[in-house]
């Protein structure tokens, strides 16, 4: 038995994943750990999937509701979706098998702002029966040392009737001390979150739980879903360059200083390109108050450019994950992992004054942004934390290449086919063509700027649409020609290209 389970009582509850899976019943609502492929349970999902297959083969029902922090991995969401045991899922996902199930109408999916998801359980909007949570160690006192993410783990375990703990010896024990666990008070007795700067610590380095709820402890030794990032291409570098140009403009305007940049960044290759650009920039003493720490932030810390990175999770390449596992003690002074209710808390986001940068599927000529749905109907991943940060940021920005699918798709469209972030929230839109600064502009004044960041192949089509809208719209505040507003999307569905 692993020496990572120091509590005598919990050592007596060690069992296999298959044995632990017997505590889960058909129809149960499960709160599981995991956020952007980090810190998710490695054994129970497969055990539950196998149990589901066995029961289905006998003609018996077995399906569960799954709540997480955010996305997990193929060996978590994926195996359960393939076994057809996910009945309902929230608040965010990114697995191809689960996405297929959602878009086929099998699994029901509620896409929720990540800072709101724990509230659904705490206030009884949704039930929870069991929590399945990965940790890196259990102390002699029964305190849980989280692994590579915190997510909603605290709230799941506080509210579940049963708790199953996975102790993963692959995760570095030196992560201990990196976490900052703080519980938000229940309504109506809630008080302000006492964070004034990204580096503030306000809680404990462990999670304390009701040990009587623990029904099983399972030992594992498996890595997170550490996916490699693609090499930086010219488009990503161009987007990063325009973002840095925007930051330089903010410095010249006196709204930002080279040593006062507080960042929030979404996940992916383009945000990583932005951080690579910051390595050679004039910006120093960079701080992050964000939800995910990825490779680019680790590189900025190593270069001495970033002093604090506060988040709820890692999302690292295999190389960066190995570096973190080997040197976690060195990074503890720079990195804080918090519950996602805190990392994404609108109150704190507004107070610290960060610049938010997130990806998008498309934006329309007035600055409405679609982060979630292809052609208005097909779910991609979800809104994630982009809404938490966008509406409350000092400056909100969205970044994307101007084209997708080898030019068949324009990311700048006449009318967004689904709107997650309205024109009231999106301030800056950036593509490889440049940046559209929409601050202070009435809707019609935004159009030329938005068309300027579209690809030249689509600019004439967008201009034609706008001219038509000016002639046919029943009002001139935000002119639209509703007869042709979605022609780009209809062309894509029917002809395979938005150009028709």
Residues 333-392: tens digit of each pLDDT: 999 999 999 999 999 999 999 999 999 999 999 999 999 999 999 999 999 999 999 999
* Residue 152 pLDDT exceeds 90: yes
Let me know if residue 64 belongs to a domain: yes
Helix (H, G, I), strand (E, B) or coil at 465: helix
For residues 246 and 199, membership in a common domain is answered with no
The answer on pLDDT for 232 being more than 90 is: no
Q: State which of 190, 220, 250 marks the end of a domain.
A: 220
Tell me the residue range of the domain where 78 lies. 8-220
Residues 69 and 178 in one domain: yes
Res. 420 pLDDT band, cuts 50 70 90: very high
The pLDDT of 65-87, averaged and rounded, is: 98
Q: What is the pLDDT of residue 227?
A: 87
Q: Are residues 216 and 238 in the same domain?
A: no
Query: Is 266 in the same domain as 176?
Result: no
Residues 213 and 353 placed together within one structural domain of the fold = no
Tokens 């201009």 — which residue?
Answer: 463
Sign of CA dihedral 455, 396, 374, 468: negative
User: Does 86 belong to an annotated binding site?
Assistant: no
Predicted local distance difference test score (pLDDT) of residue 88: 99
CB neighbour list of residue 61: distance below 8 Å, 6 or more residues apart: 26, 55
27 is in an annotated binding site: no
d(CA 356, CA 392): 9
Predicted local distance difference test score (pLDDT) of residue 1: 64
Mean pLDDT (whole number) for 303-308: 98
Q: What angle do CA 116, 261, 357 make, to 5 degrees?
A: 45
- Asked if residue 20 has pLDDT above 90, the reply is yes
Banded pLDDT at 272 (limits 50, 70, 90):
confident
Residue 278's SS3 state is helix
Q: Is 267 annotated as a binding residue?
A: yes
Whole-number pLDDT of residue 273: 86
Separation of CA 117 from chain center = 12
Is 405 annotated in a binding site? The answer is yes
**Domain identity same for 16 and 138:** yes
- The answer to whether 69 is annotated as binding is no
Query: Where among 220, 254, 283 does a domain terminate?
Result: 220
**Residue 440 assigned ligand-binding role:** no
Which pLDDT band holds residue 477 (cuts at 50, 70, 90)? very high
Q: Tell me, yes or no, whether 308 and 366 share the same domain.
A: yes
Residue 399 in marked binding region:
no
Phi, psi for 216 (deg, rounded to 5) = -160, 145
Name the domain boundary from 168, 189, 220: 220
Residue positions annotated with a catalytic role: 291
Q: State pTM to two decimals.
A: 0.97
Q: Is 361 annotated as a binding residue?
A: yes
Both 182 and 315 in one domain: the answer is no
Is 429 found in the same domain as 477? Answer: yes
Average pLDDT, the chain: 97
Checking DSSP bridges between strand 428-431 and strand 214-220, what pairing results, if any? unpaired
pLDDT tens-digit readout, 126-142: 999 999 999 999 999 99
Please count the residues of the chain.
Answer: 500
Average pLDDT over residues 165-179: 98
CATH number of the domain enclosing 297? 3.40.1080.10
Per-residue pLDDT, 271: 86
CA distance 461 to 258: 40
Integer CA distances (angstroms), 304 to 301, 307, 314, 460, in order: 5, 7, 19, 46
Please tell me whether residues 260 and 373 are part of one structural domain: yes
Q: How many domains does the chain have?
A: 2
């Amino acid at each position: 038995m692993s020496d990572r389970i120091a509590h005598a009582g919990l050592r007596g509850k060690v069992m296999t994943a298959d044995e632990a899976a017997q505590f889960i019943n058909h129809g149960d609502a499960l709160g599981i750990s995991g956020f952007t492929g980090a810190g998710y349970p490695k054994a129970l999902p497969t055990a539950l999937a196998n149990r589901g297959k066995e029961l289905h083969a006998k003609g018996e029902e077995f399906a569960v509701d799954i709540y997480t922090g955010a996305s997990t991995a193929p060996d978590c969401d994926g195996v359960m979706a393939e076994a057809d045991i996910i009945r309902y899922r929230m608040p965010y996902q990114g697995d191809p098998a689960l996405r297929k199930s959602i878009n086929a109408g099998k699994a029901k999916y509620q896409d929720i702002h990540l800072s709101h998801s724990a509230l659904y359980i705490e206030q009884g909007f949704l039930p929870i029966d069991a929590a399945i949570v990965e940790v890196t160690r259990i102390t002699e006192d029964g305190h849980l040392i989280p692994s590579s993410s915190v997510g909603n783990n605290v709230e799941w375990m506080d509210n579940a009737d049963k708790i199953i703990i996975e102790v993963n010896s692959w995760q570095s024990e030196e992560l201990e001390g990196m976490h900052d666990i703080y519980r938000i008070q229940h309504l109506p007795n809630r008080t302000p979150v006492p964070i004034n700067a990204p580096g503030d610590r306000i809680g404990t380095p462990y999670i304390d739980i009701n040990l009587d709820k623990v029904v099983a402890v399972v030992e594992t030794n498996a890595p997170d879903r550490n996916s490699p990032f693609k090499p930086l291409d010219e488009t990503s570098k161009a987007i990063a360059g325009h973002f840095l140009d925007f930051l330089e403009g903010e410095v010249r305007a006196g709204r930002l200083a080279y040593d006062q940049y507080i960042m929030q960044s979404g996940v992916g290759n383009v945000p990583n390109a932005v951080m690579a650009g910051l390595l050679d920039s004039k910006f120093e003493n960079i701080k992050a108050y964000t939800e995910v720490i990825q490779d680019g932030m680790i590189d900025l810390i190593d270069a001495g450019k970033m002093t604090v990175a506060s988040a709820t999770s890692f999302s690292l390449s295999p190389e960066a994950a190995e570096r973190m596992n080997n040197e976690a003690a060195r990074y503890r002074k720079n990195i804080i992992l918090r519950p996602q209710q805190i990392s994404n808390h609108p109150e704190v986001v507004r107070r610290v004054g960060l610049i938010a940068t997130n990806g998008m599927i498309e934006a329309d000529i007035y600055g409405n942004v679609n982060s979630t749905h292809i052609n208005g109907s097909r779910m991609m991943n979800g809104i994630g934390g982009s809404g938490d940060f966008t509406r409350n940021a000092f400056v909100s920005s969205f970044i994307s290449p101007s084209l997708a699918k080898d030019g068949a798709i324009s990311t700048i469209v006449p009318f967004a086919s689904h709107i997650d972030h309205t024109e009231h929230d999106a301030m800056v839109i950036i593509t490889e063509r440049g940046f559209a600064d929409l601050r202070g502009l009435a809707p019609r004044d935004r159009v030329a700027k938005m068309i300027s960041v579209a690809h030249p192949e689509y600019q004439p089509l967008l201009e034609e649409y706008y001219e038509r809208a000016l002639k046919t719209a029943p009002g001139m505040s935000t002119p639209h020609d509703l007869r042709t507003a979605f022609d780009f999307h209809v062309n894509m569905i029917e002809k395979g290209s938005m150009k028709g």
